[in-house]
Amino acid sequence: MTKEQIQECIKACQECATACGQCIDGCLSGDDVKMMAECIRTDIDCMTICQTTAQFMSLNSQFSSDICELCATICEKCAEECDKHADMHDHCRKCAEACRKSAKSCREMASMGN
């Protein structure tokens, strides 16, 4: 990976963390919180792993590609969950998009090895 690609991946993870946080806020503010419970769960996991993964990359950690692989898996799952509600909730639609972008970038990082 070039420095620019790593910087892009860090940014994608951070934007995904933000979208997950805003999706949690949206889910908890709505009328159908029970229906959104699984979405809130994956959002919390995804927000947290994205922050941690961005940190590992910024530190140039020897474990960057390992955590990117896990991060990609969690982002993909979160995108899948948010997609179920994307028609009804704008925050879910935006979150699914950010998750897919982050997943793709992390998958590339992971494939390069450390």
Binding residues for its own copies, per CB under 8 A? 7, 10, 14, 17-22, 24-25, 28-29, 31-34, 36-37, 40-41, 44-45, 47-49, 51-52, 54-63, 66-67, 70, 73-74, 77
Q: In terms of CB distance, is 61 or 84 closer to its own copies?
A: 61
* Nearer to its own copies among residue 48 and residue 111 (C-beta): 48
User: Which among 64, 70, 82, 105 is positioned nearest to 22, based on CA atoms?
Assistant: 82
CB of 82 to its own copies, least distance (A): 15
Query: Helix-strand-coil percent breakdown of the chain, rounded to 5?
Result: 80, 0, 20
Integer Cα distance of 25 and 12 in angstroms: 20
